[in-house]
A = this chain, B = another copy of it.
Amino acid sequence: MSGTDVDSAEVLRVLTAVRERAPLVHCMTNVVVAGFTANVLLAVGASPAMVENAEESAEFAGIADALLVNLGTLSAERSRAMRLAAAAAQAHDKPWVLDPVAVGAMTFRTGLAADLLAHRPAVVRGNASEVLSLAGAAGAGRGVDSTVGAEAAVGTARALAARTGGVVAVSGAVDQVTDGEQLVEVRTGHPLMTRVTGVGCALGALVAACCAVEDDRLLAAVAATTVLTVAAEEAAVLSRGPGSFAVALLDALDALDGPTLDARTRARAAR
């Protein structure tokens, strides 16, 4: 059974709420993409803050409007800080997003990610290999890239969402987003997204920002994914390669409006 298409009017409503309420997003993310992630959040009107030490992460998770936990460049200290922050987010009923970067490829982070699931992330966002590995299936990941398509992970993603009580978003050429029952397919996007580091990681942060303003987690994850992928299509038009694409993507996120969301979403709708 294939999923439903994106409702661009609902996406615009969530984006507008982010711009108006400027949610404070606590990012625990990897050092490779921290700057780009902050710039993506600023470009949509959210307020990023990176707090990653065990002395402060729980305190700040209680202050912020949403939390992102991205396992990219892990360390023993970061992993302690992440456990504390995820527990604090759960205790304060703040939505949090788990991005299980390279889970499956390495033992240490695979164990950490499994533990973090107990704190019930509002959304898990990863590629197919990561989602399969996180759910205990054979992930077939190598490094940080998936070796299978998003469609191959839909069944596992549904089961994982049912288990966490949240949403699972699987990135790929067509993104698959499910709350365990409904499935939405996000068909917008551009191949240049895979030629710049941190686009997937920034999506995790955008999902957190949208969860801060929208209680329907399925809609929040779909809105974040649509906003980023439509902006990527706009950016690709103005790009000469991956360097100028990354710059144009930030400009496009800032400029994104309803007619653009609507036109690009319609153009990709399943027939």
Residue A228 at the B interface, CB < 8 A? no
A108 and B143 alpha carbons, distance in the complex (Å): 31
Cβ-defined partner of A52 (8 Å) among B73, B102, B255: B73
Residue A10 at the B interface, CB < 8 A? no
A178-221, CB under 8 A of B: which get 1 and which 0? 00000000000000001111100000000000000000000000
Stretch of A42-50, A115-123, A152-160, A166-174 at the chain-chain interface: A42-50
Residue A60 at the B interface, CB < 8 A? yes
A5-47, CB under 8 A of B: which get 1 and which 0? 0000000000000000000100000111111101100110001
The tally of residues in A whose CB lies under 8 Å from a CB in B reads 63
Cβ-defined partner of A50 (8 Å) among B32, B55, B63, B254: B32
Assess the B251–A43 pair: CB atoms within 8 A.
no
Assess the A72–B50 pair: CB atoms within 8 A.
yes
A48 and B247 alpha carbons, distance in the complex (Å): 20
Residue A98 at the B interface, CB < 8 A? no
Ordered by A's residue number, 26 sampled pairs between the chains whose C-beta atoms are within 8 Å are A24-B143, A31-B50, A32-B34, A32-B50, A34-B35, A35-B197, A38-B198, A39-B243, A42-B196, A43-B241, A48-B144, A48-B197, A49-B102, A51-B73, A51-B102, A52-B75, A53-B74, A55-B74, A59-B106, A60-B105, A63-B143, A75-B77, A242-B250, A243-B248, A243-B250, A244-B250
